[in-house]
Amino acid sequence: MIDPFGRAIQYLRVSVTDRCDLRCVYCMSEDMTFLPKNELLSLEELDRMCSTFIELGVKKLRITGGEPLVRKNVLGLFESLGRHLKTGALNELTLTTNGTQLAKFAEPLRAAGVERINISLDSLDATRFKTITRWGNHAQVIDGIRAAKAAGLKVKINTVAMRSVNEDEFDQLVDWCGAEGFDLVFIETMPMGDISGDRTDQYLPLSLVRARLESRWTLTAIPDNTGGPARYTRCSETGGRVGFITPMTHNFCESCNRVRLTCTGTLYMCLGQDDAADLRTPLRTSESNAALINAIHDAIVRKPKGHDFIIDRRQNKPAVNRHMSVTGG
């Protein structure tokens, strides 16, 4: 799958549910309305979708959400997709999770072939963690992170950088991740979906975060070849990697190799644009994959060159109306 700008599409992110057991302030409002369960693709349909993309050249699959580990029987999906790792058709099967369910799932995920995992953690302080996630239990997530480490999963911590919320603990996070052997990636808040609050107050440019970190740590840029938006550095003092995802201040679209599938079978060719393709209808029209493959090819041809997120201070409207939990992070 090569798009009109010559980018080979090899990375698929799949949101397996829009539901979540947390309500992070930058992601959801507390009274979120979720999709009726009957609109979701079944796990068998998700497997068929993913397997078709793999047949078409996808090498890396990330399962996300909402919270992927709250989807009923989701482990079965990992176990069945693991077959593509065994044949070599797929290079990597991974997930992004809030960590609440990891104490239970870390080992079986590792057994299914998952080697690396992204875990979101915005604070090391239990009270603050609760304020950010509204419903979260910090100890439960830390237990989950420890279980992932113990199961042999390579852990990357994702931290959303928020002004006046967690900006005073970034040094501590670098220190802790370095000591635990985890990569750490800072993320800027993106204007996605109505959250019943004002995002402009939370926005903290990572250029500032990085400059502040560099007054304490020696961060040396290292090449990143994932085609993703993260820019990585190596921290000399801890030996760990520290990355920065800067969709608001940095243009990473030229190397974008990914597309995103929602839990209802809608394919978004760009996280920051509204254009999308319905793949559920072609999937359900026939048991053969021919119509689905055609629809995927038609969609890839429409992948835009890039996005242009802005947080509009005058209108205070999200740049993209759907929540991050719909297309997955």
Q: Does 27 bind ligand SF4 (CB under 6 A)?
A: yes
User: Which of 51, 101, 120, 257 is the binder for ligand SAM (CB under 6 A)?
Assistant: 120
Of ligand SF4, ligand SAM, none, which one does residue 28 interact with (CB within 5 to 8 Å by kind)? ligand SF4
Helix locations, the chain, DSSP H: 43-55, 74-81, 83-87, 102-111, 126-133, 138-150, 170-180, 206-213, 280-285, 290-301, 324-327
User: Which of 9, 20, 46, 283 is the binder for ligand SAM (CB under 6 A)?
Assistant: 20
Q: Does 191 bind ligand SF4 (CB under 6 A)?
A: no
Of ligand SAM, ligand SF4, none, which one does residue 23 interact with (CB within 5 to 8 Å by kind)? ligand SF4
- The gap from C-alpha 68 to its chain's centroid, in whole angstroms, comes to 10
Q: Does 189 bind ligand SAM (CB under 6 A)?
A: yes
Q: Does 98 bind ligand SAM (CB under 6 A)?
A: yes
Residue nearest to ligand SAM (CB): 329
Q: Does 27 bind ligand SAM (CB under 6 A)?
A: yes
DSSP 190-238: --BS--SS-STTTB--HHHHHHHHTTTS-EEEE---SSSSEEEEEETTT
Q: Which residue has the tokens 């044949």?
A: 87
Distance CA 156, CA 184 (A): 6
Q: What is the DSSP letter of 255?
A: G
User: Which of 97, 123, 246, 262 is the binder for ligand SAM (CB under 6 A)?
Assistant: 97
Specify the residue, 22 or 253, whose C-beta has the smaller distance to ligand SF4. 22
Q: Are residues 327 and 199 in contact, defined by beta-carbon separation less than 8 angstroms?
A: no
Distance CA 130, CA 123 (A): 9
Determine if residue 193 is left, alpha or beta; phi over 0 gives left, psi from -120 to 50 gives alpha, anything else beta.
left
Q: Does 165 bind ligand SF4 (CB under 6 A)?
A: no
Smallest gap from residue 132 Cβ to ligand SF4 (A): 9
Q: Does 262 bind ligand SF4 (CB under 6 A)?
A: no
Contacts of 317 (CB under 8 A, 6+ apart): 191
Specify the residue, 178 or 328, whose C-beta has the smaller distance to ligand SAM. 328
Cα 170 to Cα 75, 95, 209, distances in angstroms? 33, 24, 8
Of ligand SF4, ligand SAM, none, which one does residue 328 interact with (CB within 5 to 8 Å by kind)? ligand SAM
User: Which of 17, 51, 64, 257 is the binder for ligand SAM (CB under 6 A)?
Assistant: 64
Specify the residue, 39 or 214, whose C-beta has the smaller distance to ligand SF4. 39
Q: Does 328 bind ligand SAM (CB under 6 A)?
A: yes
User: Which of 17, 51, 96, 238 is the binder for ligand SAM (CB under 6 A)?
Assistant: 96
Contacts of 260 (CB under 8 A, 6+ apart): 12, 13, 14, 15, 267, 268, 271, 327, 328
Tokens of 284: 């359900």
Q: Does 329 bind ligand SAM (CB under 6 A)?
A: yes
What angle in degrees, to the nearest 10, is found between the helix axes of 126-133 and 138-150?
100
Distance CA 148, CA 121 (A): 14
User: Which of 153, 192, 256, 311 is the binder for ligand SAM (CB under 6 A)?
Assistant: 192
Site map 129..168 versus ligand SAM, x via CB under 6 A = -----------------------------x-x--------
Smallest gap from residue 115 Cβ to ligand SF4 (A): 21
Q: Which residue has the tokens 């679209």?
A: 253
- Which residues of this protein are in contact with ligand SAM, per CB under 6 A? 20, 26-27, 64-65, 67, 96-98, 120, 158, 160, 187, 189-190, 192, 324-325, 328-329
For ligand SF4, the binding residues (CB under 6 A) are: 20, 22-24, 27-28, 65-67, 98, 120, 325
